[in-house]
A and B are shown apart, each in its own frame.
Chain A
Amino acid sequence: DQQVKQNSPSLSVQEGRISILNCDYTNSMFDYFLWYKKYPAEGPTFLISISSIKDKNEDGRFTVFLNKSAKHLSLHIVPSQPGDSAVYFCAASSTGAGSYQLTFGKGTKLSVIP
Protein backbone atom coordinates (compact mmCIF):
# COMPACT_ATOMS: atom_id res chain seq x y z
CA ASP A 1 0.00 0.00 0.00
CA GLN A 2 1.60 3.20 -1.21
CA GLN A 3 1.28 5.91 1.42
CA VAL A 4 2.73 8.68 -0.73
CA LYS A 5 1.63 8.88 -4.33
CA GLN A 6 2.86 10.93 -7.24
CA ASN A 7 0.39 10.07 -9.95
CA SER A 8 2.17 11.81 -12.80
CA PRO A 9 5.31 9.93 -13.81
CA SER A 10 6.37 12.77 -16.08
CA LEU A 11 5.68 16.42 -16.84
CA SER A 12 6.88 18.70 -19.64
CA VAL A 13 6.84 22.47 -19.29
CA GLN A 14 8.10 25.34 -21.40
CA GLU A 15 10.94 27.41 -20.01
CA GLY A 16 9.62 30.43 -18.14
CA ARG A 17 6.24 28.86 -17.38
CA ILE A 18 5.05 27.42 -14.09
CA SER A 19 5.70 23.77 -13.19
CA ILE A 20 3.24 22.18 -10.79
CA LEU A 21 4.10 18.81 -9.31
CA ASN A 22 1.50 17.04 -7.24
CA CYS A 23 1.62 14.57 -4.39
CA ASP A 24 -1.08 12.79 -2.38
CA TYR A 25 -0.72 10.91 0.86
CA THR A 26 -2.94 8.54 2.78
CA ASN A 27 -1.37 8.36 6.23
CA SER A 28 -2.95 11.01 8.45
CA MET A 29 -0.03 10.67 10.88
CA PHE A 30 2.31 12.38 8.44
CA ASP A 31 3.09 15.86 9.70
CA TYR A 32 6.20 16.86 7.81
CA PHE A 33 6.61 16.92 4.06
CA LEU A 34 9.60 17.42 1.81
CA TRP A 35 10.51 17.65 -1.83
CA TYR A 36 13.73 16.27 -3.19
CA LYS A 37 15.23 16.69 -6.64
CA LYS A 38 17.34 13.99 -8.24
CA TYR A 39 19.64 14.21 -11.23
CA PRO A 40 20.88 11.01 -12.93
CA ALA A 41 23.83 9.34 -11.18
CA GLU A 42 23.40 11.57 -8.11
CA GLY A 43 21.60 11.14 -4.82
CA PRO A 44 18.43 13.13 -4.09
CA THR A 45 18.98 16.75 -3.07
CA PHE A 46 16.72 18.45 -0.55
CA LEU A 47 14.65 21.22 -2.08
CA ILE A 48 12.01 22.48 0.31
CA SER A 49 9.91 21.28 3.22
CA ILE A 50 6.70 22.14 5.02
CA SER A 51 5.34 21.34 8.43
CA SER A 52 1.70 20.39 8.82
CA ILE A 53 1.07 23.52 10.88
CA LYS A 54 1.58 25.58 7.72
CA ASP A 55 -0.17 25.57 4.39
CA LYS A 56 2.52 27.28 2.36
CA ASN A 57 6.27 27.60 2.33
CA GLU A 58 8.27 29.59 -0.17
CA ASP A 59 11.95 29.56 -1.09
CA GLY A 60 12.90 31.59 -4.13
CA ARG A 61 11.33 30.08 -7.22
CA PHE A 62 9.99 27.12 -5.23
CA THR A 63 6.73 27.11 -3.27
CA VAL A 64 5.13 24.14 -1.56
CA PHE A 65 1.43 24.14 -0.74
CA LEU A 66 -0.17 21.77 1.72
CA ASN A 67 -3.87 20.94 1.87
CA LYS A 68 -4.27 18.74 4.95
CA SER A 69 -7.97 18.10 4.52
CA ALA A 70 -7.36 16.76 1.02
CA LYS A 71 -4.08 15.09 2.03
CA HIS A 72 -2.48 16.78 -0.92
CA LEU A 73 0.62 18.82 -1.49
CA SER A 74 2.07 20.47 -4.53
CA LEU A 75 5.35 22.03 -5.57
CA HIS A 76 5.28 25.10 -7.78
CA ILE A 77 8.35 26.20 -9.68
CA VAL A 78 8.14 29.69 -11.16
CA PRO A 79 9.66 30.43 -13.58
CA SER A 80 10.81 27.02 -14.74
CA GLN A 81 14.35 26.77 -16.05
CA PRO A 82 16.06 24.03 -18.12
CA GLY A 83 18.29 23.25 -15.12
CA ASP A 84 15.17 22.25 -13.21
CA SER A 85 14.84 19.17 -15.41
CA ALA A 86 15.17 16.28 -12.97
CA VAL A 87 13.11 13.71 -11.10
CA TYR A 88 11.23 15.23 -8.18
CA PHE A 89 10.34 13.12 -5.16
CA CYS A 90 7.73 13.97 -2.60
CA ALA A 91 8.46 12.57 0.88
CA ALA A 92 6.65 12.51 4.20
CA SER A 93 7.49 11.79 7.80
CA SER A 94 5.76 11.78 11.16
CA THR A 95 6.86 12.62 14.68
CA GLY A 96 5.17 9.42 15.74
CA ALA A 97 7.76 7.47 13.80
CA GLY A 98 10.41 8.65 16.23
CA SER A 99 13.52 9.20 14.23
CA TYR A 100 13.66 10.38 10.71
CA GLN A 101 12.00 7.81 8.45
CA LEU A 102 11.05 9.26 5.11
CA THR A 103 8.32 7.69 3.00
CA PHE A 104 8.82 8.62 -0.63
CA GLY A 105 6.59 8.81 -3.67
CA LYS A 106 7.85 7.21 -6.85
CA GLY A 107 8.80 10.50 -8.41
CA THR A 108 7.81 12.77 -11.27
CA LYS A 109 10.26 13.41 -14.08
CA LEU A 110 10.15 17.09 -15.00
CA SER A 111 11.41 18.19 -18.40
CA VAL A 112 11.74 21.93 -18.96
CA ILE A 113 11.88 22.67 -22.66
CA PRO A 114 13.99 25.68 -23.72
Chain B
Amino acid sequence: KAGVTQTPRYLIKTRGQQVTLSCSPISGHRSVSWYQQTPGQGLQFLFEYFSETQRNKGNFPGRFSGRQFSNSRSEMNVSTLELGDSALYLCASSLEGGLSDTQYFGPGTRLTVL
Protein backbone atom coordinates (compact mmCIF):
# COMPACT_ATOMS: atom_id res chain seq x y z
CA LYS B 1 0.00 0.00 0.00
CA ALA B 2 1.44 3.40 -0.96
CA GLY B 3 2.27 5.77 1.87
CA VAL B 4 1.35 9.40 2.35
CA THR B 5 2.69 11.55 -0.44
CA GLN B 6 3.29 15.27 -0.38
CA THR B 7 4.04 17.61 -3.25
CA PRO B 8 6.13 19.51 -3.84
CA ARG B 9 8.98 18.35 -1.64
CA TYR B 10 10.77 21.70 -1.73
CA LEU B 11 9.50 25.18 -2.37
CA ILE B 12 11.05 28.63 -2.33
CA LYS B 13 8.83 31.69 -2.15
CA THR B 14 9.22 35.37 -1.31
CA ARG B 15 7.47 37.38 1.36
CA GLY B 16 3.94 38.36 0.51
CA GLN B 17 3.36 35.49 -1.91
CA GLN B 18 0.98 32.65 -1.30
CA VAL B 19 1.62 28.93 -1.52
CA THR B 20 -0.42 25.74 -1.84
CA LEU B 21 0.84 22.39 -0.61
CA SER B 22 -0.73 19.07 -1.48
CA CYS B 23 -1.15 15.83 0.44
CA SER B 24 -2.43 12.47 -0.75
CA PRO B 25 -3.33 10.17 2.15
CA ILE B 26 -3.01 6.43 2.30
CA SER B 27 -5.81 4.77 0.37
CA GLY B 28 -8.84 4.32 2.60
CA HIS B 29 -7.77 6.94 5.11
CA ARG B 30 -10.31 9.68 5.60
CA SER B 31 -8.59 11.88 8.16
CA VAL B 32 -5.78 14.22 7.14
CA SER B 33 -3.87 16.42 9.57
CA TRP B 34 -1.28 19.09 8.90
CA TYR B 35 1.67 20.01 11.09
CA GLN B 36 4.36 22.67 10.95
CA GLN B 37 7.86 21.78 12.10
CA THR B 38 10.39 24.49 12.95
CA PRO B 39 13.62 24.25 14.95
CA GLY B 40 12.32 26.62 17.60
CA GLN B 41 8.76 25.38 18.07
CA GLY B 42 9.03 21.74 17.07
CA LEU B 43 6.00 20.03 15.53
CA GLN B 44 2.81 22.05 15.86
CA PHE B 45 -0.68 21.02 14.85
CA LEU B 46 -2.29 23.16 12.16
CA PHE B 47 -5.64 21.51 11.41
CA GLU B 48 -7.38 18.25 10.69
CA TYR B 49 -9.85 17.41 7.96
CA PHE B 50 -12.32 14.56 7.84
CA SER B 51 -14.92 13.98 5.14
CA GLU B 52 -14.13 17.35 3.53
CA THR B 53 -14.76 19.23 6.79
CA GLN B 54 -12.28 20.92 9.06
CA ARG B 55 -12.83 19.14 12.34
CA ASN B 56 -10.06 20.58 14.48
CA LYS B 57 -7.78 23.60 14.31
CA GLY B 58 -4.57 24.60 16.05
CA ASN B 59 -3.43 28.08 17.07
CA PHE B 60 -2.34 29.49 13.74
CA PRO B 61 -3.47 32.73 12.09
CA GLY B 62 -6.13 32.77 9.40
CA ARG B 63 -3.43 33.03 6.72
CA PHE B 64 -3.17 29.28 7.09
CA SER B 65 -6.08 27.45 5.56
CA GLY B 66 -6.82 24.10 4.04
CA ARG B 67 -9.38 21.96 2.38
CA GLN B 68 -10.09 18.34 1.67
CA PHE B 69 -11.54 16.84 -1.45
CA SER B 70 -14.00 13.99 -1.84
CA ASN B 71 -11.13 11.55 -2.50
CA SER B 72 -9.60 12.61 0.86
CA ARG B 73 -6.70 14.43 -0.78
CA SER B 74 -5.95 17.64 1.05
CA GLU B 75 -4.38 20.96 0.28
CA MET B 76 -2.96 23.55 2.59
CA ASN B 77 -2.67 27.21 1.64
CA VAL B 78 -0.63 29.94 3.24
CA SER B 79 -1.31 33.48 2.09
CA THR B 80 0.82 36.60 2.52
CA LEU B 81 3.92 34.59 3.39
CA GLU B 82 6.20 35.77 6.17
CA LEU B 83 9.82 34.84 6.84
CA GLY B 84 8.69 32.92 9.92
CA ASP B 85 6.59 30.60 7.76
CA SER B 86 9.78 28.89 6.62
CA ALA B 87 9.35 25.37 7.92
CA LEU B 88 8.81 21.73 7.13
CA TYR B 89 5.10 21.12 6.60
CA LEU B 90 4.02 17.59 7.37
CA CYS B 91 0.82 15.89 6.47
CA ALA B 92 -0.46 12.81 8.28
CA SER B 93 -3.34 10.50 7.52
CA SER B 94 -5.31 8.02 9.57
CA LEU B 95 -8.40 5.90 9.05
CA GLU B 96 -10.92 7.92 11.00
CA GLY B 97 -8.85 10.33 13.06
CA GLY B 98 -9.84 8.57 16.25
CA LEU B 99 -7.78 8.61 19.40
CA SER B 100 -6.17 5.23 18.86
CA ASP B 101 -5.85 5.53 15.09
CA THR B 102 -2.24 5.54 14.08
CA GLN B 103 -1.24 8.62 12.14
CA TYR B 104 1.06 8.00 9.19
CA PHE B 105 3.20 10.91 8.12
CA GLY B 106 4.37 11.94 4.70
CA PRO B 107 7.95 13.11 4.03
CA GLY B 108 6.96 16.77 4.25
CA THR B 109 7.28 19.87 2.10
CA ARG B 110 10.23 22.11 2.92
CA LEU B 111 9.09 25.73 2.46
CA THR B 112 11.66 28.50 2.41
CA VAL B 113 10.44 32.10 2.45
CA LEU B 114 12.98 34.70 1.31
Q: Which residues of A contact B (CB under 8 A)?
A: 31-32, 36, 41-46, 49, 51, 89, 91, 93, 95, 97-107
Contact = CB atoms under 8 A, between A and B. Distances in A.
A-B complex: 3 closest residue pairs judged by Cβ atoms: A43-B105, A106-B42, A104-B43
A56 B5 CA distance: 33
B47 to A, nearest CB: 9
B15 interface: no
B56 interface: yes
The secondary-structure label for the interface of chain B is strand
A81 to B, nearest CB: 22
Contact of B103 (A97, A100, A107): A100
A102 B103 contact: yes
Given A41-B107, A43-B105, A107 B42 contact: yes
A74 B62 CA distance: 36
B31 A99 contact: yes
Contact of A99 (B43, B56, B92, B102): B56
A46 B55 contact: no
Interface of B: 4, 31, 33, 35, 41-45, 48, 50, 55-56, 58, 90, 92, 94, 97-108
Given A32-B100, A99-B56, A104-B44, A44 B31 contact: no
Nearest to A95: B99
Contacts of A31: 99
16 contacts: A43-B4, A43-B90, A43-B105, A43-B107, A44-B105, A46-B104, A49-B100, A91-B43, A98-B55, A99-B31, A99-B98, A100-B48, A100-B94, A101-B33, A101-B56, A104-B44
Contacts of A93: 99
A100 B44 contact: no
Contacts of A102: 33, 35, 43, 45, 103
A46 B35 CA distance: 15
B56 A97 contact: yes
Contacts of A107: 42
A100 B58 contact: no
Contacts of A95: 99
